[in-house]
Structure 1
Amino acid sequence: MRLLLIRHGQTPSNVDGLLDTSRPGAPLTGLGEQQAAAIPEALAGQRIDHLVVSPLLRTHLTAAPLAADRGLEVGTDVPVVEGLEEIGAGSLEMRNDPEAHRAYLEAAFAWGAGDRDMSMPGGDDGHAFFDRFDRAVREAIAGAGAGAAGADPDTTVAIVSHGAAIRVWVAAWADNIHPSFTAENDLPNTGIVTLEGSFESGWTLADWLGTPVGGAALDDPAADDFSGETLDEVESDAHPDAAVDRRTLD
């Protein structure tokens, strides 16, 4: 089967670099609305058997144009799945300084590399994140009417979720990449990650979209969107003269 992991559109918190992970979360900016509006055309002709969103507002607003295009409504035909929300920032919540960005992503990417005992400052460890995100993805797959093994390889589930959560989950589950891949490649707002396979047979990364679905014209290089940036970029912001420590990613 196929998973489309769609990052939400731009929010004011993305522009300002805020660690905004609590509910209900920020709405979309005007650019974020344009990004969301581009999703239906980008996925035109793409089979989607089930579309789900996280509990945070920005995923609902991002999914709405695609849902409308498919004759669906968020909250009824498009269910809210608990567990698909962003990685909680703990005591870093609503900070926007480079040191907080670095601490957040270093903990998160350590989980993707296998160190699930590490805790987010004032928050959960990696075990808690994977327990709830794995459970949520399984629930989304079940909602498509697919068995756990995804018997129909063409069954497609679209999940609108969050930058750090998608990147860390893919780092741990995609069996054809090194875990560092997701830390070394941007995932901008409305970037889509495509996985093929199942929990039983394993997941393979089929595509990583490093631009918004509408292309570079809908990107915002001036935004402080750290959760979509590479770890090198975030490290450079926090410590411009320091070498990047890759120990957690090897």
Structure 2
Amino acid sequence: MSAFRLVLARHGETESNVGGVLDSRPPGPPLTDLGRLQAEALAEELAEEPVVAVYASVATRARQTAAPLAARHGHTVEVLEGVHEVQCGELEGRSDVDALRTFHEIFGSWHTGLVSSRLPGGESGQDVLDRFLPVLEELRDRHPEGTVVLVSHGAALRLVGGWIAENVTGRAADEVLLPNTGRVVLEADTSLASGWRCVFWTGHDDIGDDQPAGAGAAGD
């Protein structure tokens, strides 16, 4: 069995993604037809990985994305609290220019270290880190070997990946959207202060040293 590897995968496409809608509140919408195909493709891309467990956030789209992969490896999907999307508060359900600008400005500030900044009526970056990071540590403790897959959400994964992976800058994590079923792949590395190293990030050819085939499908 190989050393512990954590694959953080974004869910497949939803109608909210198609419409550019800020949609963070679980359980949220299901996958589109394309989203279901993306979930099947993710399962195929990770078919040769030694997957020992598959987890998902409480959102419907995350659970549906994780299901084909779990079935491929003979597992069931375990749903985890604390790894859902950044909660948008007053911006929820909006797709207008002002709402999107506000979201991206505040989200971008988190990547410069200003994690106390808060979305209007929603979460701060620190809120997201406080609920998400302990789950990753628990998974590392629970699975000392093999590949663990966690299906979650684009904004949350970019924040968390950029925060804990010592070889990823906040600017890099912020500059490229993680596509539907795109992945951030982390390995435990005790030689680093953070304890985590990124070996692959969809959309970044210069991050990590592991480049799986089929680096995710197009999407918001």
Structure 2: segments with no counterpart, 5+ residues:
205-211
Larger radius of gyration: 1
Quote the offset at 1:219 in angstroms: 2.7
Residue equivalent to 1:140 = 139
Confirm or deny that 1:124 pairs with 2:123.
Answer: yes
CA contact (8 A) 1:39 1:214 kept: no
Q: Distance in 1 between matches of 2:128 and 2:196?
A: 18
Residue equivalent to 1:91 = 90
Aligned CA distance change for structure 1 residues 219 and 121 (closer, same or farther; 3 Å): same
Aligned residues: 208
Residue equivalent to 1:230 = none
TM-score (norm 2): 0.86
Aligned CA distance change for structure 1 residues 93 and 201 (closer, same or farther; 3 Å): closer
Tell me which of 197, 202, 206 is aligned to 1:209: 202
Q: Distance in 1 between matches of 2:83 and 2:68?
A: 20
* Structure 1 residues 26-52: Cα deviation after superposition (integer angstroms, max 9, x where no partner): 100110010001112101211112211
Q: Distance in 1 between matches of 2:67 and 2:27?
A: 16
CA contact (8 A) 1:9 1:189 kept: yes
After TM superposition, the structure 1 stretch with the greater mean CA deviation from structure 2, 108-117 or 162-171, is 108-117
Structure 1: segments with no counterpart, 5+ residues:
147-151, 226-250
Q: CA RMSD in A?
A: 2.2
Quote the offset at 1:210 in angstroms: 2.6
* Structure 1 residues 222-250: Cα deviation after superposition (integer angstroms, max 9, x where no partner): xxx2xxxxxxxxxxxxxxxxxxxxxxxxx
CA contact (8 A) 1:81 1:140 kept: no
CA contact (8 A) 1:38 1:214 kept: no
CA contact (8 A) 2:31 2:61 kept: yes
Tell me which of 161, 171, 177 is aligned to 1:180: 171
CA contact (8 A) 2:86 2:155 kept: yes
TM-score (norm 1): 0.77
- Matches of residues 152-231 of structure 1 in structure 2 within 5 Å? 152=145, 155-197=146-188, 202-210=195-203, 215=214, 218-219=217-218, 225=220
